[in-house]
Amino acid sequence: MTAAFASGHRQENRVEQLKQLRQKIAALSGKQAVPTEDPVPQGQGLVPRGAVAVLSGARSLLLRMVAQVTAEGGNAAIVGQPDIGLLAAVEMGADLSRLAVIPDPGSDPVEVAAVLIDGMDLVVLDLGGRRVTWTRARAVVARARNRGCTVLVTDGEWEGASTRLEARICGYEITPTLGDVPAPGFGRISGVRLQVCANGRTIGRSRTG
């Protein structure tokens, strides 16, 4: 009886939370959108507005995208990823006042992301190892396209994804701490060099930080 009551109570809380989230996003979606048709930054033209892409590998590329979208006046959200490095995003220029973070979206992060799409320019959706079937994915893809919101999916399987990106660290930018000349074993990492692949093909390099 206690377990059943607790489960029901959690369900009521979740319904209320989703209701409040929808109200906030509805208000946000009424604001003037950022007038741009450019692809998501640092995506090398691979992730246009309104597209859904699967992103794996180094988080630095993801954080750079969030940073540039918010720095240019757009709104972004991160669903899941409770250990995401927001300090790194700030160092890349992110405006945290334009970033919504939902560290624990519950058992259905896709539903939460679908609500956020209505008022965001970029939504990062961490699936937590889940698999999203094409039937459900198709509905989210259509919604994102209609709203002009880019969705980046991480840590899971998204059936039917037309774009799959992978970011690999290929080097670091080191700031000397002893004098002006870098020395082995000394210095501070000030940036990361990434190799970006799309659908298995290397398409360029990017620097973050």
Residues 190/183, Cβ–Cβ less than 8 Å: no
92 and 140 fall within a common domain = yes
Q: How many domains does the chain have?
A: 2
92 and 173 together in one domain: no
Mean pLDDT (whole number) for 113-135: 95
| DSSP assignment of 161-196 | -SEEEEEEEEEEEEE-SSSSS--TT-SEEEEEEEEE
Same domain, 59 and 144: yes
Exposure string of 97-110, with b = 16+ CB inside 10 Å and e = fewer, is ebbbebeebeeebb
In a domain, 172, yes or no: yes
| 194 plus 118 within the same structural domain | no
Alpha carbon distance 157, 141 (integer Å): 14
Instruction: Identify whether residues 200 and 102 lie together within a single domain.
Output: no
How much is the CA Rg of the chain, to the nearest whole Å?
19
* Co-location of 108 and 184 in the same domain: no
Considering the domain architecture, whether residues 203 and 104 belong to the same structural domain is answered as: no
pLDDT at 126 over 50: yes
Same domain, 150 and 187: no
For residues 90 and 58, what is the distance between their CA atoms, to the nearest angstrom?
Answer: 17
Range of the domain at 66: 44-165
Q: Identify the band that residue 132 occupies on the pLDDT scale cut at 50, 70 and 90.
A: very high
Please return the burial class of 73, using the count of CB atoms within 10 Å of its CB with bins 0-12, 13-18 and 19+: middle
- The model's pLDDT over 31-64, given as tens digits with 9 standing for 90+, comes to 443 433 344 444 435 588 899 999 998 888 889 8
Q: Span 167-171, mean pLDDT?
A: 75
